A and B are shown apart, each in its own frame.
Chain A
Amino acid sequence: MRARSAFSIQRDVIFAIFIREMVTRFSSYTLGNIWLVLEPLLMMTLFMLLFGARGRGAYGFVEAPVFIFSAFLTFRLLWTYTMRQTASARNGAKGLLEYRQVRLFDVFMTRTIIEGCLFFVVGFILAMGLVWLGYDPWPTDFLLTLWYCVILWLFAASFGMLACLVGSFAREIEKMVSMLTMPMMFISAVFFPMSAVPKHFWPYLTWNPLMHGMELIREAWFGNYSSPVADFDYFMGWMLVCFAFSLATYRLTWRRILSR
């Protein structure tokens, strides 16, 4: 055994968990890791057919499939999946915490990274499919879209982390989070732009930071869409507070969680 720096230990551990997660996640399925891409792919195709067939060209600024693509890709993969995966990190960490160099935080980080990569892989495959069908799915302002996506991703990771940490003291949190997942999709401007919502509903919907995230991404993605309500500072503020709060909670509770 030779001594390693803290950084190289963390890197080794994250890589090891990454491989382990990749191997175990779908190992009991016939198609194996193809499900990693297939699962979001199927779901989004379904939504595209469902909403796309109904509202073809209804929003004026973009074709329905591309609209659905941009919204569902970011919301489901970056928000829902990342949040769900980090929130359930404690189940994934069972058996891992028998080794002193592996901590719960490594599992959080690995899962967050996996979901981030998955977002790119699935997004790329689906975008190629759309190109093949004659649409133009690429974001107008790619870097700005990416920047908003990173914020949304970190927000999801820190929210999931917080849910996991608090949930290990009160399991009710798990139930509440899974109960909230579905309604959040309806009030976060996922399958409609805020410009299509009557003005008197805006004061209620603008409380939701996710709605701002979705609207900002939409603005950056489609050059000719301008959101009537999106507020970057509000969205960023939520992310930063949630991020700091989750890290602080981790630091305060991780040892107590070990003996649970």
Chain B
Amino acid sequence: MIRFDNVSKYYPTRFGPKYVFRDINLVIPDDRDVAIVGANGAGKSTLMRLLGGIDFPSSGKIKTDRFISWPLALSSGLQGSLTGRENVRFICRIHGMEADRDTEEYVKEFSELGDNFELPVGGYSSGMKSKYSFAVSMGFDFDTYLMDEIMSVGDAGFRKKCESAISNKRENANIILVSHNTDLLRRQCNAAILLAYGRADFYESVDQAIFRYQNL
């Protein structure tokens, strides 16, 4: 369970503090796959960063006992001058995995990169990058996966593969998904959080949240 207690987040700007969230209280259950919907600038990515532990609330607390992945966005956290394999190794090391050979091979196979896996990540196309980042995250066993628009880039075949990989992980993990693709959200998720007006509301049904979002 991930619990938000009175979480506020603002960014200082020259017009004074700009609030993204004001006193949100939220509980994300362990067994639901959550879609995050909201307009541009509503705070979807900020929410992901807060969940990923790489940014912190200005006030309030986020409590959880789950292993949450880093926020998977396009090419986030990848060093362009390192090869695909070296980047995987780095991520393995910071997660305390000693024998990382299996993970490397898994990522290489899953991402369908072939020889490109041994070339610097900086040279990858955006499609390759999204495949690669997705494959890397699937190489680790998290309790919750944070995905920020990661599945909307790859080609149709790969997208199918992603969805089946996620289905396999579902047995003991859940996902939190940000996307503007409502079909994808409907397929993958069974709960939603709607971000609007500095608030975050939990919806039991994705359709309802999308309906509300489209009629804001």
Q: A residues bordering B, Cβ < 8 Å?
A: 1-2, 4, 8-9, 12-13, 15-16, 19-20, 23-24, 27-28, 95-102, 255, 258-259
Which of A15, A255, A259 lies in contact with B93, CB distance below 8 A?
A15
Decide if B156 is an interface residue (CB 8 Å cutoff): no
Smallest Cβ distance from A2 to chain B, in angstroms? 8
Q: Which 7 A-B pairs have the closest CB atoms?
A: A98-B77, A100-B53, A16-B93, A1-B67, A16-B94, A12-B96, A98-B76
Which of B78, B90, B142 lies in contact with A1, CB distance below 8 A?
B142
| Residues of B close to A9: CB separation below 8 A | 96
Contact A99 B78 (CB under 8 A): no
Contact B93 A19 (CB under 8 A): yes
A88-B166 Cα distance, complex, nearest whole Å: 39
Contact A95 B79 (CB under 8 A): yes
Which of B56, B67, B78, B142 lies in contact with A255, CB distance below 8 A?
B56
Decide if B54 is an interface residue (CB 8 Å cutoff): yes
- For A27, give the chain B residue with the smallest CB separation: B81
- For A24, give the chain B residue with the smallest CB separation: B81
Smallest Cβ distance from A113 to chain B, in angstroms? 16
Known: A1-B143, A20-B82, A28-B81. A102 touches B94 (CB 8 A): yes
Decide if B134 is an interface residue (CB 8 Å cutoff): no
Contact A99 B54 (CB under 8 A): yes
Which of A1, A4, A15, A258 lies in contact with B55, CB distance below 8 A?
A258
Decide if B132 is an interface residue (CB 8 Å cutoff): no
Contact B93 A100 (CB under 8 A): no
A195-B140 Cα distance, complex, nearest whole Å: 62
Instruction: Give 20 CB contacts A-B under 8 Å.
Output: A1-B67, A1-B142, A4-B96, A9-B96, A12-B95, A13-B93, A19-B93, A20-B90, A24-B79, A27-B81, A28-B81, A98-B52, A98-B54, A98-B71, A99-B94, A100-B52, A100-B53, A100-B54, A100-B70, A258-B56
Smallest Cβ distance from A147 to chain B, in angstroms? 33
For chain B, what secondary structure do more than half of its interface residues adopt (helix, strand, loop), or is it mixed?
loop
- For A13, give the chain B residue with the smallest CB separation: B94
Decide if B15 is an interface residue (CB 8 Å cutoff): no
| Residues of B close to A19: CB separation below 8 A | 89-90, 93
Contact B11 A101 (CB under 8 A): no
Contact A98 B55 (CB under 8 A): no
| Residues of B close to A102: CB separation below 8 A | 94
Contact A97 B96 (CB under 8 A): no
Known: A1-B67, A20-B82. A95 touches B77 (CB 8 A): yes
Smallest Cβ distance from A177 to chain B, in angstroms? 25
| Residues of A close to B53: CB separation below 8 A | 100
Decide if B91 is an interface residue (CB 8 Å cutoff): yes
Smallest Cβ distance from B141 to chain A, in angstroms? 6
- For B10, give the chain A residue with the smallest CB separation: A259
Contact B82 A259 (CB under 8 A): no
A21-B52 Cα distance, complex, nearest whole Å: 24
Which of B55, B95, B140 lies in contact with A259, CB distance below 8 A?
B55
Decide if B86 is an interface residue (CB 8 Å cutoff): yes
B residues 96-116 near A (Cβ < 8 Å) are 96
Instruction: Please encode chain B, from 33 to 62, with 1 for each CB lying within 8 Å of some chain A CB and 0 for all others.
Output: 000000000000000000011111000000
| Residues of A close to B70: CB separation below 8 A | 98-100
| Residues of B close to A255: CB separation below 8 A | 56
Smallest Cβ distance from A109 to chain B, in angstroms? 14
A243-B141 Cα distance, complex, nearest whole Å: 39
Smallest Cβ distance from A251 to chain B, in angstroms? 14
A101-B79 Cα distance, complex, nearest whole Å: 17
| Residues of A close to B89: CB separation below 8 A | 19
Contact B79 A20 (CB under 8 A): yes
Smallest Cβ distance from B26 to chain A, in angstroms? 19
A97-B53 Cα distance, complex, nearest whole Å: 10
Sample of 8 further A-B pairs with CB below 8 A, known A1-B95, A13-B94, A20-B79: A1-B142, A8-B96, A9-B96, A12-B96, A16-B93, A20-B82, A95-B77, A98-B77
